[in-house]
Amino acid sequence: MVRGYRLGTKNDESVTGLPDWLDDAPDAVRESAAKLLVRGRGYESDRRDTRFIKTRRGPQYYEDVSTLIEDVCGEPAPVKDHGVTISANAVRALGLA
């Protein structure tokens, strides 16, 4: 997912959230974006199919990721400890387990 992101180094100062265009994107695009985020940024847990996204990003980024995943699959993806916890049910709903 590149459109809307700055070129170069990305960190908590340069990436403050997901691109605005994603809010109004078609459902299929939003679902693809959610899958890409979980596949590309999520790391597996030893607890079932739960995944975690932790990276150096601003708090709004985590809120945006959580909202996107919850909107797409209707399952919990709460923001916790500077990251997002993607529930096992959310991972399964995205077809990633």
For residues 89 and 95, what is the distance between their CA atoms, to the nearest angstrom?
10
The mean-pLDDT minimum among 11-15, 29-33, 41-45 falls in 11-15
Cα angle 43, 49, 19 (rounded to 5 degrees) comes to 50
Q: What is the pLDDT of residue 85?
A: 96
Task: Kindly state the tokens that stand for 51.
Answer: 């995944």
Domain spanning 20-93, CATH class: alpha beta
Average pLDDT over residues 58-73: 95
Average pLDDT over residues 51-79: 94
Q: Is 4's pLDDT higher than 80?
A: no
pLDDT digits (tens, 9 = 90+) for 41-52: 999 877 789 999
What predicted TM-score, i.e. pTM, was given to this entire model?
0.85
Q: Is 2's pLDDT higher than 50?
A: no
Q: Locate the domains of the chain by residue range.
A: 20-93
